[in-house]
C-alpha cells in the first residue's frame, strides 16, 4: 500500500472513523476514561502515521498491518470493558473481518502465488466476513439499545425505590410524631380519668353528706321521741320512789302497793334502757350512714333497716316542709330473717328510694292543693318486703306524681334529676342502682304510671 | 272523766298510767289508749258517749292525727262534742292553724309538760 494512494488514505481515514465510532458505540469516555484518552488521539496518530509514511515514502506497507493494529486496539478496548455485552458482540463482529484482512495481506506478501490461486475463495471469505460484520454490528446495536432500555428501566426503578424510601422515611417520621401525640393524649386522658375518679369519690361522699343533711331533721325527731321517754320515765320513777318512801314512813304499810311501786320502778328502768338503746341505735345508724362503707357484708335485719330509714326519710322531709303529711306503712315479711348485705350501702339505697317517694307524693299534694278538691288526695308511701324463691324482694311504693315513660330509662343515669337546680345531685338513683346491681348482684326496677304513682323493686339474691 | 290517748308509741300507755297514777287511783281520770287513728275510731264506735277528751298525736303511720280529728268532728260529734287536743313534735304555726281549722280545742307540743297537761285537763272538768 502507498500512503499517497487513495487506498492508503482511505484505510487510514476508515481506521480513524472506526475508532471514533468505537468510542461512541462503546461509550469509552465513561467506561474506561484513561484508555479513551489514548483513543481520542487516534486522529492525531493517524495523521502522524500518514505524515511519516509520506515523508519516508514508505510504499510497501500492507494494509493488513493497519487492520491488525486496529483489531488489537478493538480487542484491548473490549478486554478493558468485557462486562459490557455489546463490546464482546462487537469484537465477535469485527474479528473474522480483521483476521481475513490480515491473513489476506499476509498471504500476499508471504505466499503470493497461493494467494493468487485462491483469490476467489479468499474474496468470498472476505465478503462473508463483511456480511458477518454488518450482521453482528446490528446485533450489537440492538443489544446496546436493549441494555440502554434496561438501564433506563433500572434507573426508573431505582428512582421509584428512592421515592418509596423517602416516602417511607416521611411516613415513619409522621408515625413517630403521631405516636408521640397519642402517647401524650393518652397520658392526658389517664390524668383526666384519675381526676374524674377522685371527683366521683368526692361526689359520692357529698351525695352521702347531702342525704345526711336531709336526714338530720328526721334523725333529730327520731331521737327526740326516745329521749322524751327516757326523761319522762326517769321523772316518773323519782315520783314513784318518793311515793314509796312516803309509804314506808306510814305506820301501816301496804305491802301490795309497795310491791306494785317496785314493779313499776323496775319496768320504768327497763323502758329507760330500751329507749336509750333506741336513741343510740339511731345515732349509730347515722354514723354508719356518713362513714365510708366498709364494703363488708354482714347478716342484716332488712325489715328493721327498711323501717328505720322509712321513718328517717319521712321525718326528714316533714322537718323541711311542716305542712307535709303522708301516711307511711310497712308490710314486712318476718320470714326474711337475716340477709347478708352491706348495711350502710343498702341503707342508702332505701333512704334514697324513700326520700324520692315522699318527694313524689309531696309534689302531687302540692299540685292537688292548687286544685279544687285537695282532700281527695291522701299521700301514701309503703314498703313491702317478701321472701320469694330464695331471694329478698323489697318494694317501695308511692302514690305520687309518677315518672313519665320517656324518663323511666334515664332515671338511673348519673346526674339525671328532675328536681330544681340545687335540690338534687342526680346521683342518688344512679348510686342506688350501682349498689344493688354491682354491690349485691341484685336488680333494681321501676314501675311507674304518670299521675298514679311509682314502685321501685329491689331483688337481692340470697 | 274518761280520756282517750292516741299515739303510735306503745310506751305512751305506761307513761300516762304512771304520770296520772294518783288521778287514776282516786278515780279523777280514766284512761283508754289507741295505737293508731284507725284503732281510735274503732274504740269510739263502741265508747263514743264515755269519752270526754281525746289526746291525739298528729304524726302517725296510717291515719294521721288530722284525719282522725276530721273523722271525729264528722262522725262522733254528738253533743256534748268530745274535747280534742292535738299533740305534735312539730310546733309550727301552720300545723297549729290546721288543727284549729279542723276543730281541735287545743294544741300541745312534745315533749309534753305533764304539769301543764294536768292543769289543762282539770280546767276542762
Residue with cell 413517630: A176
Mutual angle of helices A6-26 and A63-80, in 10-degree steps:
10
Per the prediction, chain A carries an average pLDDT of 84
Distance from CA of B20 to the nearest CA of A (A): 10
pLDDT at A88 (0 to 100): 79
With CB atoms and an 8 Å threshold, state whether B58 touches A325.
Answer: yes
Residue-wise pLDDT for B16-26, tens only, equals: 999 998 899 89
Cell digits for B29?
Answer: 281520770
Per-residue pLDDT for A346 more than 80?
yes
Distance from CA of B47 to the nearest CA of A (A): 26
Residue B67 maps to which CATH number?
3.40.50.2300
pLDDT at A85 (0 to 100): 77
How far apart (Å, rounded) are the C-alpha atoms in residues A427 and A440?
Answer: 18
Give the HSE-up count for residue A154: Cα atoms under 13 Å, Cβ half-sphere. 6
Cell digits for B83?
Answer: 274535747
Residue-wise pLDDT for A352-361, tens only, equals: 899 899 999 9
How far is CA B73 from each of CA B6, B37, B66, B103, rounded to the nearest angstrom? Answer: 16, 13, 11, 7
Each residue's pLDDT, cut to its tens digit, for chain B (125 residues) gives: 899 999 988 899 999 999 998 899 899 999 999 999 999 999 998 888 888 899 999 878 778 888 899 999 998 887 788 999 999 877 778 788 888 999 999 999 888 889 999 999 888 86
> Mutation test of the interface with chain B: which of A236, A260, A374, choosing the one with the most B Cβ atoms within 10 A?
A236
pLDDT at A44 (0 to 100): 77
B7: in domain: yes
Per-residue pLDDT for A374 more than 60?
no
With CB atoms and an 8 Å threshold, state whether B15 touches A221.
Answer: no
Check: CB of residue A105 under 8 Å from CB of residue A64. Answer: yes
Enumerate the residues of chain A whose CB falls inside 8 A of the CB of residue B15.
Answer: 229, 232-233, 236
What stretch of H or E contains B108?
A: strand B106-109
Enumerate the residues of chain B whose CB falls inside 8 A of the CB of residue A319.
Answer: 90
Band (A232; pLDDT cuts 50, 70, 90): very high
Is residue B34 less than 8 Å (CB to CB) from chain A? no
B35: in domain: yes
**What's the ipTM?**
0.87
B11: in domain: yes
The structural architecture, per CATH, of the domain A298-462 is 2-Layer Sandwich (3.30)
Distance from CA of A326 to the nearest CA of B (A): 8
Is residue A221 less than 8 Å (CB to CB) from chain B? yes
What stretch of H or E contains B107?
A: strand B106-109
Band (A180; pLDDT cuts 50, 70, 90): very high
With CB atoms and an 8 Å threshold, state whether B9 touches A225.
Answer: yes
What stretch of H or E contains A122?
A: helix A119-249
Cell digits for A125?
Answer: 471469505
A-B contacts at Cβ under 8 angstroms = 61
pLDDT at A62 (0 to 100): 58
Is residue B45 less than 8 Å (CB to CB) from chain A? no
Per-residue pLDDT for A393 more than 60?
yes
Enumerate the residues of chain B whose CB falls inside 8 A of the CB of residue A381.
Answer: none
How far apart (Å, rounded) are the C-alpha atoms in residues B47 and B52?
Answer: 10
Is residue B62 less than 8 Å (CB to CB) from chain A? yes
Q: What are phi and psi of A75, to 5 degrees?
A: -60, -45
Provide the domain count of chain B. 1
Per-residue pLDDT for A59 more than 80?
no
Q: Which of A413, A419, A304 is nearest to A358 (CA)?
A: A419
What stretch of H or E contains A2?
A: none
pLDDT at B12 (0 to 100): 93
B116: in domain: no
Residue with cell 417511607: A168
A191 vs A112, which has greater pLDDT? A191
Enumerate the residues of chain B whose CB falls inside 8 A of the CB of residue A273.
Answer: none
Selected residues 73-92 of chain A with any CB under 8 Å from a CB in chain B? none
Q: Which of B21, B14, B117 is nearest to A274 (CA)?
A: B14
Give the pairing of strands A327-331 and A380-388.
Answer: parallel
Per-residue pLDDT for A3 more than 70?
no
Enumerate the residues of chain A whose CB falls inside 8 A of the CB of residue B61.
Answer: 327-330
Is residue A327 less than 8 Å (CB to CB) from chain B? yes
Residue with cell 491488525: A68
Per-residue pLDDT for A372 more than 70?
no
How far apart (Å, rounded) are the C-alpha atoms in residues A268 and A253?
Answer: 23
> Mutation test of the interface with chain A: which of B7, B15, B22, B73, choosing the one with the most A Cβ atoms within 10 A?
B15
How far apart (Å, rounded) are the C-alpha atoms in residues B65 and B112?
Answer: 16
**Full residue range of the structural domain in which residue B38 is found:** 2-109
Is residue B66 less than 8 Å (CB to CB) from chain A? yes
How far apart (Å, rounded) are the C-alpha atoms in residues A83 and A80?
Answer: 8
Min mean pLDDT across A151-160, A269-278, A286-295, A373-382 is at A286-295
Is residue B14 less than 8 Å (CB to CB) from chain A? yes
B30: in domain: yes
Band (A291; pLDDT cuts 50, 70, 90): low
Selected residues 397-426 of chain A with any CB under 8 Å from a CB in chain B? none
B119: in domain: no
Domain residues of chain A, as ranges? 6-164, 298-462
A7-16 mean pLDDT: 73
With CB atoms and an 8 Å threshold, state whether A325 touches B64.
Answer: yes
Distance from CA of A448 to the nearest CA of B (A): 23
Per-residue pLDDT for A220 more than 60?
yes
Among A239, A275, A323, whose Cβ lies nearest the Cβ of B94?
A323
A191-213 mean pLDDT: 82
A106 alpha-carbon distance from chain centroid: 90
How far apart (Å, rounded) are the C-alpha atoms in residues A418 and A450?
Answer: 14
Check: CB of residue A115 under 8 Å from CB of residue A104. Answer: yes
Residue-wise pLDDT for A123-171, tens only, equals: 888 888 888 888 888 888 888 888 889 889 999 999 999 999 999 999 9
Enumerate the residues of chain A whose CB falls inside 8 A of the CB of residue B19.
Answer: 232, 236
Residue-wise pLDDT for A396-415, tens only, equals: 999 999 999 888 888 988 77
Q: Tell me which range, A41-55, A142-156, A213-227, A445-459, is most confidently predicted by mean pLDDT.
A: A445-459
Min mean pLDDT across A99-113, A142-156, A160-174, A432-446 is at A99-113
Among B14, B111, B112, whose Cβ lies nearest the Cβ of A271?
B14
pLDDT at A384 (0 to 100): 94
A97-115 mean pLDDT: 78
Amino acid at each position: 500500500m502507498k500512503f499517497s494512494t487513495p487506498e492508503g488514505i482511505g484505510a487510514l481515514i476508515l481506521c480513524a472513523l472506526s475508532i471514533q465510532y468505537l468510542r461512541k458505540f462503546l461509550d469509552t469516555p465513561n467506561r474506561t476514561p484513561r484508555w479513551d484518552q489514548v483513543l481520542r488521539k487516534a486522529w492525531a496518530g493517524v495523521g502522524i502515521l500518514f505524515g511519516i509514511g509520506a515523508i519516508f515514502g514508505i510504499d510497501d506497507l500492507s494494509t493488513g498491518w493497519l487492520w491488525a493494529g486496529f483489531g488489537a486496539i478493538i480487542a484491548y478496548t473490549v478486554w478493558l470493558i468485557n462486562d459490557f455485552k455489546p463490546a464482546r458482540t462487537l469484537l465477535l463482529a469485527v474479528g473474522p473481518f480483521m483476521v481475513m484482512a490480515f491473513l489476506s495481506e499476509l498471504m500476499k506478501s508471504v505466499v503470493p502465488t497461493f494467494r493468487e490461486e485462491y483469490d476467489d475463495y479468499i474474496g468470498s471469505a472476505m465478503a462473508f466476513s463483511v456480511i458477518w460484520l454488518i450482521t453482528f454490528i446490528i446485533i450489537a446495536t440492538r443489544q446496546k439499545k436493549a441494555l440502554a432500555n434496561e438501564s433506563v428501566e433500572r434507573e426508573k426503578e431505582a428512582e421509584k425505590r428512592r421515592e418509596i424510601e423517602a416516602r417511607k422515611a416521611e411516613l415513619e417520621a409522621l408515625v413517630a410524631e403521631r405516636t408521640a401525640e397519642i402517647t401524650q393524649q393518652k397520658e392526658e386522658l389517664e390524668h383526666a380519668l384519675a381526676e374524674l375518679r377522685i371527683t366521683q369519690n368526692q361526689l359520692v361522699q357529698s351525695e352521702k353528706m347531702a342525704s345526711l343533711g336531709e336526714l338530720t331533721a328526721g334523725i333529730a325527731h327520731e331521737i327526740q321521741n326516745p329521749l322524751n321517754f327516757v326523761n319522762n320515765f326517769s321523772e316518773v320513777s323519782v315520783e314513784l320512789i318518793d311515793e314509796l318512801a312516803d309509804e314506808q314512813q306510814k305506820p301501816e304499810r301496804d305491802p301490795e302497793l309497795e310491791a306494785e311501786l317496785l314493779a313499776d320502778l323496775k319496768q320504768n328502768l327497763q323502758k329507760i334502757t330500751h329507749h336509750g338503746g333506741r336513741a343510740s341505735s339511731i345515732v349509730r345508724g347515722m354514723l354508719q350512714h356518713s362513714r365510708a362503707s366498709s364494703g363488708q357484708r354482714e347478716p342484716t335485719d332488712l325489715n328493721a333497716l327498711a323501717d328505720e330509714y322509712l321513718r328517717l326519710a319521712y321525718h326528714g322531709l316533714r322537718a323541711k316542709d311542716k305542712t307535709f303529711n303522708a301516711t307511711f306503712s310497712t308490710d314486712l315479711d318476718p320470714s326474711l330473717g337475716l340477709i347478708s348485705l352491706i348495711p350502710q350501702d343498702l341503707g342508702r339505697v332505701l333512704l334514697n328510694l324513700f326520700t324520692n317517694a315522699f318527694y313524689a307524693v309531696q309534689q302531687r299534694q302540692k299540685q292537688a292543693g292548687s286544685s279544687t278538691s285537695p282532700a281527695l288526695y291522701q299521700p301514701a308511701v309503703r314498703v313491702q318486703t317478701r321472701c320469694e324463691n330464695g331471694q329478698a324482694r323489697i318494694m317501695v311504693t308511692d302514690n305520687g306524681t309518677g315518672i313519665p315513660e320517656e324518663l323511666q330509662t334515664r332515671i338511673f343515669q348519673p346526674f339525671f334529676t328532675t328536681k330544681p337546680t340545687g335540690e338534687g345531685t342526680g346521683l342518688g338513683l344512679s348510686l342506688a342502682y350501682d349498689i344493688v346491681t354491682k354491690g349485691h348482684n341484685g336488680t333494681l326496677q321501676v314501675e311507674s304510671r304518670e299521675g298514679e304513682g311509682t314502685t321501685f323493686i329491689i331483688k337481692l339474691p340470697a | 272523766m274518761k280520756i282517750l290517748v292516741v299515739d303510735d308509741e306503745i310506751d305512751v300507755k305506761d307513761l300516762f298510767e304512771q304520770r296520772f297514777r294518783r288521778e287514776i287511783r282516786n278515780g279523777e281520770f280514766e284512761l283508754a289508749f289507741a295505737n293508731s287513728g284507725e284503732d281510735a275510731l274503732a274504740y269510739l264506735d263502741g265508747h263514743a258517749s264515755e269519752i270526754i277528751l281525746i289526746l291525739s298525736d298528729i304524726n302517725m303511720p296510717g291515719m294521721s292525727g288530722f284525719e282522725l280529728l276530721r273523722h271525729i268532728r264528722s262522725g262522733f260529734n254528738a253533743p256534748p262534742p268530745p274535747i280534742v287536743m292535738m299533740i305534735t313534735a312539730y310546733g309550727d304555726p301552720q300545723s297549729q292553724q290546721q288543727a284549729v281549722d279542723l276543730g281541735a280545742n287545743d294544741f300541745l307540743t312534745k315533749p309534753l309538760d305533764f304539769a301543764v297537761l294536768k292543769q289543762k285537763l282539770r280546767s276542762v272538768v
